[in-house]
Amino acid sequence: MTQQGKITLKIRNGVAYLTFFHPASNSFTGVMLAELTDKIYELNANSQVKIIVLQSEGRTFCAGASFDELIALKDMLSAQEFFMGFARVINAMRKINKLIIAKVQGKAVGGGVGLIAAADYVFATDLAAVKLSELSIGIGPYVIAPAVKRKIGMAAFSELSVNTTKWHNAYWAREKGLFAQVFERIEKLNEETEILAEKLASFDAQAMKLLKREIWKNTDNWDELLEKQAETSAHLVLQDFAKEKLNKK
């Protein structure tokens, strides 16, 4: 039985703090992905919200896709729908008018790296190592690839996705452009995130909307692109190699 996660929301001083949690290292179920997508669009329509902070509970930022759900996938329709969950979140983060700050307190794997890459600005602690392990289980980081490549470039994406067992530390991620700032203490992470978010919330909404559009220029094809990427992942996750690897986890 798949464990349940949750998405929570608090709005303060024009800033929406959107928090996800799952007992399995903040991995994402299909239900959680759908709820997160809905919340992002709802916040975009909320005139009281100027800035969104995406964060998680606990020590790990995000372990990516729920292994329980990956193992349970039996047909192409359900598999593609699951991977489309990540595609829809990334596209929601891309499409809305409001800037999104990601606050990364710990390690991120797979889809978690994709969400970080889809944020407009990222704060992290020095514990926030990243890894793309998908190839080792017979699939690949296809849905998140456009977002990650756009943020860190092809060379760094190749390094991450080919060396599936290596954790790349937070300073590597900052050097490559995935993180904007790295802090040694979580208290400083929380403080600096709040300071920037509330400062941005006082800025002109139209100016930030136009900046968001500039940041995401030349991504208008991503609805179709990410759907194709989800189809690729869905096909691979149903193959014997992936099934065998997932069942050993």
What CATH number has the domain bearing residue 195? 3.90.226.10
Q: Look at residue 154 and tell me if it is in a domain.
A: yes
Distance CA 125, CA 138 (A): 31
Helix, strand, coil percentages (3-state) for the chain, rounded to 5, are 50, 15, 30
CB 158 within 8 A of CB 132: no
pLDDT at 240 (0 to 100): 94
- Nearest by Cα to 26 from 79, 102, 95, 92: 102
Can you tell me the mean pLDDT for 60-73?
95
* Residue 247 pLDDT level (bands cut at 50, 70, 90): confident
Distance CA 131, CA 62 (A): 11
The first and second tokens of residue 156, run together, are: 């760094």
Instruction: Look over the chain and give the mean of its residue pLDDT values, rounded to a whole number.
Output: 96
Strands 100-104 and 51-56: parallel
DSSP labels, 23-64: TTTT-B-HHHHHHHHHHHHHHHH-TT--EEEEEESSS-SB--
Q: Look at residue 220 and tell me if it is in a domain.
A: no
CB 136 within 8 A of CB 245: yes
Can you tell me the mean pLDDT for 8-16?
98
Can you tell me the mean pLDDT for 231-244?
96
Q: Look at residue 125 and tell me if it is in a domain.
A: yes
Q: What are phi and psi of 125, to 5 degrees?
A: -95, 170
Q: Is the pLDDT of residue 101 over 70?
A: yes
The first and second tokens of residue 73, run together, are: 């996938």
pLDDT at 108 (0 to 100): 98
Going by the DSSP 8-state scheme, the letter that residue 9 receives in this structure is E
Q: Is the pLDDT of residue 223 over 90?
A: yes
pLDDT at 3 (0 to 100): 65
Q: What is the pLDDT of residues 186-222, one digit of tens each?
A: 999 999 999 999 999 999 999 999 999 999 999 999 9
In the chain the first and final C-alpha atoms are separated, in Å, by 15
The residue type of 10 is K
pLDDT at 4 (0 to 100): 85
User: How many domains are contained in the chain?
Assistant: 1
Range of the domain at 157: 6-201
Can you tell me the mean pLDDT for 50-78?
96
pLDDT at 248 (0 to 100): 82
pLDDT at 205 (0 to 100): 95
* Residue 2 pLDDT level (bands cut at 50, 70, 90): very low
Which has the higher per-residue pLDDT, 3 or 181? 181
Distance CA 18, CA 55 (A): 6
Q: Is the pLDDT of residue 69 over 60?
A: yes
7: left (phi over 0), alpha (psi -120 to 50) or beta: beta
Q: Is the pLDDT of residue 249 over 90?
A: no
Q: Look at residue 231 and tell me if it is in a domain.
A: no
